[in-house]
Amino acid sequence: MTEPAAFRARVLALVARIPEGRVMTYGQLALLAGQPGAARQAGFVMNSLMGEGELPWQRVINAQGRVSTHRLGFGDMQEQLLAAEGVIFDATGRCDLSRLQWWPEEAAHTGPAPLL
């Protein structure tokens, strides 16, 4: 498997594990998929999934706790899907990452989670 294909496979495997009502960020996906700093590349992988398939693509948001898909025409859908799972956005369009950001057990760390 080529490196881009391997990265894509790792990102998709992580997305499949995000529990309902929780979120991950693009940067966090890149970090956990073995390419720290590749948030944009993780975003490209996620863009290929929007609105289709069985993976919970809606559970991936940006590091500010906002959806980044409005310019792609999926922002309202993503917010509605997340709201149906109990993810609440404030008046500025942010959710509480300190409470809702999910980290896989094998990525357990000490101290507060970095907001990636």
Full residue range of the structural domain in which residue 75 is found:
3-100
| Stretch 85-95: mean pLDDT | 96
In single-letter form, the type of residue at position 108 comes to: A
For the chain, the C-alpha Rg in angstroms (whole number) is: 13
Residue 13 belongs to a domain: yes
For residue 76, what is the domain's CATH number? 1.10.10.10
Asked if the structure places residue 110 within a domain, the reply is no
In a domain, 36, yes or no: yes
**115 within a domain of the structure (yes/no):** no
pLDDT tens for 5-30 read 999 999 999 999 999 999 999 999 99
In a domain, 20, yes or no: yes
> What is the mean pLDDT of the segment spanning 69-98?
93
Residue 24 Cα distances to 1, 3, 98, 115, angstroms? 25, 22, 11, 9
- For 2, the token pair is 């080529």
Total of domains in the chain: 1
Which pLDDT score, from 0 to 100, does residue 74 have? Answer: 86
Within-domain flag for 95: yes
Tell me whether residue 71 is in a domain.
yes
Burial of 46 from C-beta contacts in 10 A (0-12 / 13-18 / 19+): buried
Assess if residue 111 is contained within a domain: no
